[in-house]
């Protein structure tokens, strides 16, 4: 059998392209943060993870440019060998302080952070326990480890308790959860999760890729609940609020030191380029000096959530700037996406199997830099599309 046969038989994406409803890999000609341009068509961006709007902040831009002038475009090596600059370690120290942990370790991407951290910690006799809605990078990190994977229903504490109780006391246990779930915008119920994990002698890691800069006055979901000391590891990425590319894990120094010397995704990858590290450092500085951005972001989210709900849209359990619009049908989801796109609003359609059948949705997300005028315009267009498709 030809291993490429499945490639030639894959037609779903090309079929959608032919119908003019393919919503992925859209090549933008301009990106100004809250607005983007596609083939001369200007759209309000409501599908980005640029929560604090820092990709266009003058301090962040200037820091990246200055780093290129000083260091060039790449470190051309892994952190383990020649690819660590003083600024990598400066960022690690500042991140550890920001999230309230002893130490931090910077990876080249958020995906690699989870791949490297989880796989390094999970040995053959260990168990890694995942929420069924955890991000794919967590799942893949668990698969790379040698231990066994257990899963529990989303935010179902009773199910988590049963899973933990079924694991032998002799097995090491690591529970990994998203702090802020990236599709539906709800939070992990840490006040209930953490006591169960501790009761059964486990450890807990919180992936705050979407929560950092958004919850807990910008310090993440554990800070939001006042539980920073109660969670063992905090992970985040630079590709959201930090307006860059990369990721980090933070925790007790001996644990971070172990990961640093055992995470294959770190040891065998080129280090994050100077411009990316400088941008993340500058973004962190802006988070400290402009805390009002976090408040503005959440005010914008409340405005949009209230607006959608007033129209009759189902926004699920979202309490954050990620606001899903549940539609429940593949065809209608694509139709709604296309109509919104043509009317000047950029959102993300999410259909099965990425979500369970009946949970198809439009993922919308908001920034601190969205203006009231932009948000009002988005609501007007959503109302028009909702009426035309009988969604509201």
- Final residue of a structural domain among 289, 305, 323: 289
Q: Are residues 152 and 234 in the same domain?
A: yes
Q: Give the structural domain span for 245.
A: 56-289
Sign of CA dihedral 275, 279, 282, 288: negative
Peptide bond into 353 cis (omega under 30): yes
Closest CA to 116 of 91, 151, 140, 85: 140
pLDDT of residue 278: 98
Rg (CA), the chain: 21
Q: Are residues 125 and 208 in the same domain?
A: yes
Q: Are residues 283 and 295 in the same domain?
A: no
pLDDT of residue 100: 98
Q: Are residues 99 and 232 in the same domain?
A: yes
pLDDT of residue 352: 79
Q: Are residues 141 and 270 in the same domain?
A: yes
DSSP 333: H
First to last CA, the chain: 50
pLDDT per 10-residue tile (average), the chain, 392 residues: 95 91 93 95 97 97 98 96 97 98 98 98 96 95 96 97 96 98 96 98 98 97 98 98 98 98 97 98 98 97 98 96 95 94 97 84 98 98 96 92
Query: What is the distance of C-alpha 272 from the center of its chain?
Result: 18
170: domain CATH number is 3.40.640.10
pTM for this prediction: 0.96
């Amino acid at each position: 059998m030809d291993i490429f046969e499945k490639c030639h038989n894959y037609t779903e994406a090309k079929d959608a392209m032919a119908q003019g409803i393919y919503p992925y890999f859209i090549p933008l000609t301009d990106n100004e943060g809250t607005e983007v341009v596609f083939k001369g068509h200007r759209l309000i961006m409501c599908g980005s993870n640029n929560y604090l709007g820092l990709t266009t902040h003058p301090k962040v831009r200037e820091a990246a440019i200055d780093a290129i002038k000083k260091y060039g475009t790449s470190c051309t090596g892994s952190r383990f060998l020649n690819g660590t600059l003083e600024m990598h370690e400066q960022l690690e120290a500042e991140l550890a302080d920001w999230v309230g942990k002893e130490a931090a370790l910077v990876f080249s991407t958020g995906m690699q952070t989870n791949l490297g951290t989880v796989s390094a910690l999970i040995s053959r006799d260990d168990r890694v326990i995942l929420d069924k809605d955890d991000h794919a990078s967590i799942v893949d990190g668990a698969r790379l480890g040698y231990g066994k994977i257990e899963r529990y229903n989303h935010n179902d504490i009773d199910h988590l308790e049963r899973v933990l109780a079924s694991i032998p006391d002799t097995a090491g246990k690591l529970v990994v959860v998203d702090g802020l779930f990236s599709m539906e915008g709800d939070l992990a119920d840490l006040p209930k999760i953490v006591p169960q994990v501790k009761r059964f002698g486990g450890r807990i890691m919180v992936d705050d890729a979407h929560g950092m800069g958004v919850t807990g006055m910008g310090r993440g979901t554990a800070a939001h609940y006042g539980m920073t000391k109660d969670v063992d590891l905090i992970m985040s990425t630079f590709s959201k609020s930090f307006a860059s590319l990369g990721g980090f894990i933070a925790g007790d120094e001996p644990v971070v030191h172990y990961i640093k010397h055992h995470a294959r995704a770190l040891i065998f990858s080129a280090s994050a380029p100077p411009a990316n590290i400088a941008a993340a450092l500058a973004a962190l500085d802006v988070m400290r000096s402009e805390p009002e951005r976090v408040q503005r972001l959440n005010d914008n989210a409340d405005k949009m959530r209230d607006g959608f709900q007033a129209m009759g849209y189902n926004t699920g359990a979202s309490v954050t700037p990620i606001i899903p619009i549940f539609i429940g049908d593949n065809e209608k989801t694509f139709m709604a996406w296309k109509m919104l796109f043509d009317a000047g609003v950029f959102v993300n359609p999410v259909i099965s199997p990425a979500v369970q059948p009946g949970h198809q949705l439009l993922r919308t997300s908001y920034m601190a830099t969205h203006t009231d005028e932009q948000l009002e315009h988005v609501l007007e267009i959503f109302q028009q599309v909702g009426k035309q498709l009988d969604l509201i």
